[in-house]
Chains A and B, each alone.
Chain A
Amino acid sequence: DTAVSQTPKYLVTQMGNDKSIKCEQNLGHDTMYWYKQDSKKFLKIMFSYNNKELIINETVPNRFSPKSPDKAHLNLHINSLELGDSAVYFCASSPRVRGNTIYFGEGSWLTVV
């Protein structure tokens, strides 16, 4: 069973389109995240939710909007896609206890053409 699963794995779309990436975790964790990994492999946090509540919102364009219908799901919607949005987006989760292990999904490869 995949602990953190995200779909789609690959996404190729044109500039200006709107797209969503879905994420689900079956670990019972309270905290979920979206990370962006650019072409240089740099991992940067975008958002963090705890029990459906937004707790971290890094400097991310308003075109990116996370939605957490319940604590097991955190979806990412991106409006008006730009070439610079091309990256790998990782969903992740962690328990709200000391230990701090973050469990990552396998990533969604977004290519904007």
Chain B
Amino acid sequence: QQQVKQSPQSLIVQKGGIPIINCAYENTAFDYFPWYQQFPGKGPALLIAIRPDVSEKKEGRFTISFNKSAKQFSLHIMDSQPGDSATYFCAASKQGGSEKLVFGKGTKLTVNP
């Protein structure tokens, strides 16, 4: 049972474009939704996270949009750069606990110069 569904599997954009990665979850008890960024040969690293009491969170060029009623959240990267090329994972967990963070299957983003 996949609790967090992520799409697309891969995404190619030109520099300056705005890639959007979408995730949908099933468990309404989830209350923490982070995005992780993973560069080749490295471990995933927290990029940005949101809780369901807000509909949007922005950090630099990265924005999470959250739709609680639809049980969906998405990552937008403004003015994307080749250095943003990486695999992005959405995740979700419940009750503020980190013990079982459930990950989406990842999106490989390529930003062409």
A interface residues with partner B (beta carbon < 8 Å): 4, 31, 40-45, 48, 50, 55-56, 90, 92, 94, 96, 98-107
Contacts and interface: CB of A to CB of B under 8 A. Distances in A.
A55 B97 CA distance: 12
Interface of B: 32, 34, 38, 41-46, 49, 87, 89, 93, 96-101, 103, 105-106, 108
Contacts, number: 59
Nearest to B46: A101
Nearest to A92: B43
19 contacts: A42-B105, A43-B44, A43-B89, A45-B101, A48-B100, A55-B99, A90-B43, A96-B98, A98-B96, A100-B32, A100-B96, A100-B97, A101-B49, A102-B98, A103-B45, A104-B44, A104-B45, A105-B43, A106-B42
A100 B89 contact: no
Contact of A100 (B34, B44, B45, B106): B34
B22 to A, nearest CB: 17
Contact of A94 (B38, B44, B98): B98
Contact of B98 (A31, A41, A43, A105): A31
A99 B105 CA distance: 22
A31 B87 CA distance: 25
Nearest to B106: A41
Contacts of A96: 98
A107 B43 CA distance: 6
